[in-house]
Amino acid sequence: MQAYTLQTNTRSRSIRLKVNDSGEVVVTAHPRTPEHAIKKFVAAQQSWIQRQQAKQQRRTPFETQHAILLFGRTYQKKRAYLEKVPIGIHIQGSTLLCNTMEPPTSQAWSGVEKKQLQRFLKHTASAYITPKTKELAENMNASYTRIVFKDLSSRWGSCSSKGNLNFNWRLVHLPPPIIDYVIVHELAHLTHMNHSPSFWRLVREYCPGYKSRVRDLKGYRFG
């Protein structure tokens, strides 16, 4: 029997199923839905689940034990002790270096170092996305309230009715052309809070190759 995580929702009128970026199967159903009905539904979707999980495995992960993507480029992760380099995370050529306080005995990153890396990635994301958003907003004659970077598990960005632009800091892993598409997408929502033909015409006007960027975006996964 396929393992799954059950999420209940009192507004659910049917059983829904999805496979997230890590390959986990998530089922949403009303709290009163019988367990046997849920298991029967999952069993009936087994072939579809396997296809989706296989597709997820073919996608490019943002980070592995030894490497990480930054703006679409692969960097080798390395822990080292360099006296003349400040403690912390640095880019040196094609290496993402974690300079330690003393000579490391292994390449396993500690919990503290992983948090340092996340702060580095968030800062790097902001350093690119914030000025790029301002530039593109001026081109599109769009006005936003503020930019917020969030830790999202399944969305790249969103635009609120108050004009706030929310971006997933993990965009930093993607090539700049894809990041730019996401920015244009959210800026277009300042004019059209939907995905109507008018919305996509506006996106195409300022990001002519957006369809290929959407396809490329689907080639990456969080896990």
Mean pLDDT throughout 161-175? Answer: 95
Instruction: Give per-residue pLDDT as tens, 75-115.
Output: 999 998 888 888 889 999 999 999 987 878 888 888 888 89
Q: CATH 3.30.2010.10 residue ranges in the chain?
A: 119-221
Q: What percent of the chain has pLDDT over 70?
A: 94
Give the alpha-carbon dihedral of 181, 184, 189, 194, to 10 degrees: -30
Q: What is the mean pLDDT of residues 19-32?
A: 84
Asked if residue 26 has pLDDT above 60, the reply is yes
CATH architecture of 119-221: 2-Layer Sandwich (3.30)
Interval 45-85: pLDDT, tens: 888 888 777 666 556 678 888 899 999 999 999 998 888 88
What is the predicted pLDDT for the residue at 149?
Answer: 96
CA distances in angstroms from 60 to 31, 67, 216, 221, listed in the order given:
36, 12, 10, 6
- Whether this prediction's pTM lies above 0.85 is answered by no
Report the alpha-carbon distance of residue 94 to residue 66 in Å, rounded: 12
